[in-house]
Structure 1
């Protein structure tokens, strides 16, 4: 039960975390995309503007030098990062890497201070007798770009954190009605008529879920009430004829001139009536999920079951032995102990053709061993499943529900039951205190 209560809390934390992580990823993704787009667009637009400006300045400088070839004539440029040069194509003043460049704008690098490479743009304008160069350094643009990257990176971090806080707040708002709904559903435990959920929630998805749960609870309550009424009716209707049969048997057996064979038949009917009564009582408890009370002597029940099975086996060459005793009476109704132990003894007697069936009571456990055909690994794994019949069942009658009833009774009372093969036959173990071995010592 503890695991069942913790699981919903783990699920709510996971769903809450998913909402927060979704907001974080959304905020980071959008801001990072915006920052990347800003840098790319800035670089592209700046590059196009600089190249266009350099080409215009180079043409202007070229025309200026053609008009004023005097070396003392200075071409005025306001930007100190720009270097201009005009010379004949064969002049030694032209750097080697510039000499063969045709008219246009180029991205070049050169070694700077401390061996660092610097990037710059070079605009070239060529004429028959002169070539003009304008060199534009990237130093300031690189610094501006670095500052922009830092600014955008800080913006990404801040906006991502803001998205995380928004996600945390939104997760709380979203999960609050879900948590309230789960709490109200858990409060249904023990109530015969659950309180309606839908009036406590808004007309949204959670309200729709609450309405669906109300409808399901109504149908489930109706089924439970119908099941309880059916169990009560069946129990009453079956107990009444059984009580009539028991009374009639007692009256007939009280006759002093009753023939021995007739007395034996009546005793067999009496045992069958008692077995039916115990089975009805046990099934009624299972259907209600209620534990009955009472202190039962397991040895006395085992002796009664042994007598009943001896009479049913007839001429089979099987010896049924009961030995030992339990440490103390079992806190359960005699009907429940009789059904649980009786199914194990009955199965052992049914599948044992000859030899013995031994019921040994030791401490809190009862061991039922036989000399029958034994069990396969597949049978041992599925024998307690409802409707399963072992490979050794052959032509025997039965629906394969006896051992499943034993399992359900053990689950209800906290007992342990198991069946395991041994060298000859098999051994079934029923422990009334929730502990025991799978094999007889």
Structure 2
């Protein structure tokens, strides 16, 4: 909406500026042409009149010059001293002159001078009234400029609504598609013009995108089915085997590890499917997931990593928390955080602390650099000391899962000793 308003504003301003500029240019050109032509005509007329008056005075010295608009004086070369001092040395031509009258007003006039047959003629033409006409013309032109500018503004307003109406309609239909989630063709509602071409291109793009989404959805469903089936077989088989009375303790422990790995793989598949669909799903039957219980199960599943390592793992529950999310999603997130803490801690302690609105995983490993805290959540980035193990995807998956459910995950170095703290803050989800 803001972009459309900006486009309409630019269109209106363009029309208004165009109208103002065009009318102002016309006004200036009119003034220039009027002044130029008028000056040339007056000068030519005055020069012609003074030449004619000289001829008449030479032919009929006793006949006076008569004119209602102009005054004329004639002197000979011997009596030229009687003329005004500022006139006496002027040659043939027309001059722009000005005088200050007795009342203090400025009088502007043109003076035509002709010297011929020993006579010197002066002809004056008062142009003060021409200045009044010029001022009136300027006033009229300024009013015309304002009027045409307002007219251009009105035309710009009308045209902006007219021109942008198809664009507005296209934007409205796209917003409706986003709300209702349907894909009705757009091109059928628009004329065969530029907006129609845009609507046609959007229809084609929507068709390609829909096809891609459908293929992705079908692929996810196929993968989900094909992977869950063998995992279910593995889980049921291990469960049956654990019920055998002749199992040794070592073999029973290995079966438990297989069962935990199968459960983790199933949870990971479910979480990845949610991410691929950008689909947020809560637990079934409106139930909530206990954070401490999931954390305890994850700790037990990660204990095989503690073999031959002087590392203790403890769970501290300061306050009970429940979140509106499947246990599989929370399990995948905590498995990565707790698993990384155990993996990088060579000795010491890994503490999983559950308190109001959050869970913290605190280790005594080598720690992280403050500048690397955010970078570790990027795909393909591994922490120092990871060696060749891992693809650097675990924390990236955790970040995406937390974003899907509105949680905030972060890592920071410890300030009291070596190690790092990984935290998940359950925004708006804690109860």
Q: TM-score range by the shorter chain?
A: over 0.9
Map Cα deviations across residues 280-329 of structure 1 (whole Å, 9 max, x no partner).
11111122222222211111111111112221232122211111154332
1:430 equivalent in structure 2: 424
Q: TM-score, normalised by structure 1?
A: 0.92
Shift of 1:76: 1.2
Task: Tell me the CA shift for residue 115 of structure 1.
Answer: 4.1
Distance (whole Å) between structure 1 residues aligned to residue 94 and residue 165 of structure 2: 63
Alignment of 1:347-358 (within 5 A): 347-358=340-351
Shift in CA distance, 192/170, structure 1 to aligned 2, threshold 3 Å: closer
Q: 1:83 Cα deviation (Å)?
A: 2.2
Task: State the distance in 1 between where 2:21 and 2:141 align.
Answer: 13
Structure 2 residue matching 1:309: 3-state secondary structure: helix
The equivalent of 1:346 in structure 2 is 339
Deviations 1:230-264 (A, max 9, x none): 11111111100000110111111111221222122
Bigger Cα displacement from structure 2, 418-427 vs 224-233: 418-427
- Residue 109 of structure 1 contacts residue 119 of structure 1 at CA under 8 Å; is this kept in 2? yes
Instruction: Report if the CA contact (8 A) 1:109-1:118 is conserved.
Output: yes
Residue of structure 2 equivalent to 1:29: 21
Contact 2:324–2:429, Cα closer than 8 Å, also in 1:
no
Q: Would you say 1:153 and 2:142 are equivalent positions?
A: yes
Q: Out of 41, 44, 67, which is 1:49 matched to?
A: 41
- 1:43-122 correspondence runs (5 A): 43-70=35-62, 73-79=63-69, 82-89=70-77, 90-112=79-101, 115-122=104-111
Question: In the alignment, which residue of structure 2 is the partner of 1:5?
Answer: none
Aligned to 2:326: 333
Following superposition of structure 1 onto structure 2, how do residues 328-407 of structure 1 map, counting pairs within 5 Å?
A: 328-390=321-383, 392-407=384-399
TM superposition score normalised by structure 2: 0.94
| 1:17-416 equivalences in 2 (<5 Å) | 17-70=9-62, 73-79=63-69, 82-89=70-77, 90-112=79-101, 115-127=104-116, 129-189=118-178, 191=180, 193-294=182-283, 295-390=288-383, 392-416=384-408
Which structure 1 residue ranges, 5 or more long, are not aligned? Answer: 1-8, 437-441
> How far does residue 192 in structure 1 lie from its aligned partner after superposition?
5.6
Alpha-carbon deviations, 1:107-132, whole Å to 9, x = none?
Answer: 22322455444332111101363211
Give 3-state SS (helix, strand or coil) of 2:264's partner: helix
Greater displacement, 14-23 / 284-293: 284-293
Structure 1 pair 326–282 and aligned structure 2 pair: CA distance change class (3 A) = farther
Q: CA contact under 8 A between 2:292 and 2:320: conserved in structure 1?
A: no
Asked if 2 retains the 8 angstrom alpha-carbon contact of 1:198 and 1:211, the reply is yes
Q: Would the alpha carbon gap of residues 190 and 127 (structure 1) be closer, same or farther in structure 2, given more than 3 Å must change?
A: closer
Q: Give the Cα separation in 2 of the matches to 1:114 and 1:219.
A: 89
Over 3 Å counting, the alpha-carbon distance change for 1:121 and 1:230 in structure 2 is same
Change (3 A) 1:68 1:418: same
Shift of 1:227: 1.1
Of 408-417 and 287-296, the range deviating more from structure 2: 287-296
Structure 2 gap ranges (5+): none
Matches of 2:64 and 2:370 in 1, distance apart?
105
Rounded to whole Å, the distance in 2 between the matches of 1:119 and 1:131 is: 22
Cα contact 1:193–1:221 (8 A) shared by 2 = no
Corresponding residue SS for 2:20: helix
